[in-house]
């Protein structure tokens, strides 16, 4: 944990690693289902792990899926949806260590919404909340729109938020949508997935561990090998807020695969005092974690940092921030 001026330590209570497409029992029976990567694809040269997902592979359009809590959602990738459900609903990973401090009718920005499970979580907890959800990838936005369109106070936007009003190219991984992002680097993304895999394999022994790592890393290579460049509109947060009439942000959730500092830089000095709470996934590359902490503290927010035990060899952290007084 890190206070506003404190030092960093891990938090083993948070679990974030998600499953491979359903694993062959002869290799993976001993491995917990939620400790594996969450891509989908066909796997060259080894068992066809991708085809073992529910429905037999990667759907080409959103597929309706029932969640453990009884909700039905449209999903592009069953494994990613399972992961997001555990992260958001079961592990409640976006709830700060100190708990929520928001009004009964909060204004929430879900930046990097993917298919919208955090928006659904927020609307379930605060039925009168107003939630603005942002997802720039068109295919993923289609699922987000379907999942939230029936909610009168949820507003889905096919746009990215950043530090400039502009148009940019997004690297979109159709088989691993959660790794999509601006300035994506396949080698960096493979390294992150490799860290997950190595951590997940720690519970295995000898030959089983080696076979698992080889199969999983080849699967991730396949998932990341298919990528598309998608032109996306980007708006500063303060630009969007002005157009939408937003004068306060009670909770800011950011999960944008390395673009988080630019999102925060787009809030603008005039809007910062209206930001009350935040949960931000940060990839600590080139000092980004300290830059995010410094920016938040400069704008009067206290901070803490959590890193799941499974992420201990990666650069991923969750930063929580709140305004005192």
pLDDT recorded at residue 18: 41
| CATH, range 25-323 | 3.40.50.150
Structure tokens at 86: 């555990």
Cα dihedral value 235, 236, 238, 242, nearest 10:
-20
Kind and range of the H or E run holding 200 = helix 186-200
Cα dihedral value 83, 114, 221, 47, nearest 10:
50
Closest CA to 137 of 93, 76, 189, 90: 76
Distance in angstroms (rounded) separating the CA atoms of residues 256 and 263? 9
pLDDT recorded at residue 191: 74
pLDDT recorded at residue 142: 97
pLDDT recorded at residue 38: 63
Give the bridge partners for 249, in sequence order. 275
- The answer to whether the CB of 111 falls within 8 A of the CB of 249 is no
Q: Is 46 left (phi over 0), alpha (psi -120 to 50) or beta?
A: beta
Q: What are phi and psi of 39, to 5 degrees?
A: -85, 175
Q: How many CB atoms lie within 10 A of CB 72?
A: 10
pLDDT tens sequence for the chain (325 residues): 333 333 233 343 333 334 443 333 333 333 444 444 566 654 333 333 332 232 333 445 899 999 999 999 999 988 889 989 999 999 999 998 888 889 999 999 999 999 999 999 999 999 999 999 999 999 999 999 999 999 999 999 999 999 999 999 999 999 889 889 997 777 877 777 776 676 667 777 778 888 877 877 787 787 788 889 999 999 999 999 999 999 999 999 999 989 999 999 999 999 999 999 999 999 998 999 999 999 999 999 999 999 877 677 788 899 999 998 7
Residue with tokens 């592009």: 76
Query: Rounded to 5 degrees, what angle do the CA atoms 36, 84, 324 make?
Result: 120
Kind and range of the H or E run holding 195 = helix 186-200
Distance in angstroms (rounded) separating the CA atoms of residues 248 and 201? 44
Closest CA to 266 of 234, 300, 230: 234
pLDDT recorded at residue 40: 60
Task: Kindly give, in sequence order, each residue whose CB lies less than 8 Å from that of residue 80, ignoring residues fewer than 6 positions away.
Answer: 18, 38, 39, 40, 114, 176, 177, 178
pTM: 0.82
Q: Is 46 exposed, middle or buried (0-12, 13-18, 19+ CB in 10 A)?
A: middle
- The answer to whether the CB of 137 falls within 8 A of the CB of 113 is no
- Domain residue spans of the chain: 25-323
């Amino acid at each position: 944990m890190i206070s506003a001026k404190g030092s960093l330590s891990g938090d083993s209570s948070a679990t974030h690693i998600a499953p491979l497409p359903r694993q062959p029992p002869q290799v993976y029976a001993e491995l917990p289902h939620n400790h594996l990567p969450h891509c989908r694809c066909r796997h060259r040269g080894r068992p066809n792990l991708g085809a073992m997902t529910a429905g037999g592979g990667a759907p080409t359009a959103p597929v309706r899926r029932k969640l453990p809590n009884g909700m039905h959602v449209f999903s592009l990738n069953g494994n990613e949806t399972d992961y997001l459900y555990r992260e958001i609903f079961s592990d409640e990973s976006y709830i700060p260590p100190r708990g929520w401090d928001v009004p009964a009718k909060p204004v929430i920005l879900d930046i990097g919404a993917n298919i919208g499970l955090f928006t659904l979580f927020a609307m379930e907890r605060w039925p009168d909340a107003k939630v603005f959800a942002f997802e720039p990838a068109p295919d993923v936005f289609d699922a987000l729109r379907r999942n939230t369109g029936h909610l009168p106070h949820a507003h889905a936007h096919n746009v990215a938020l950043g530090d400039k009003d502009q148009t940019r190219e997004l690297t979109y991984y159709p088989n691993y949508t959660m790794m999509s992002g601006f300035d994506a680097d396949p080698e960096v993304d493979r390294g992150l997935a490799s860290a997950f895999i190595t951590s997940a394999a720690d519970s295995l022994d000898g030959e089983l561990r080696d076979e698992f790592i080889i199969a999983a890393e080849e699967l991730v290579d396949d998932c990341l090998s298919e990528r598309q460049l998608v032109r996306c509109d980007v708006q500063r947060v303060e630009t969007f807020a002005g157009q939408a009439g937003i004068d306060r942000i009670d909770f800011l959730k950011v999960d944008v695969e390395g673009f988080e500092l630019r999102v925060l830089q787009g809030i603008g000095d005039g809007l910062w005092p209206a930001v009350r709470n935040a949960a931000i996934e940060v990839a600590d590359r080139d000092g980004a974690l300290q830059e995010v902490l410094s920016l938040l503290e400069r704008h009067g927010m206290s901070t803490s940092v959590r890193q799941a035990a499974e992420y201990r060899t990666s650069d991923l952290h969750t930063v929580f921030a709140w305004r005192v007084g």
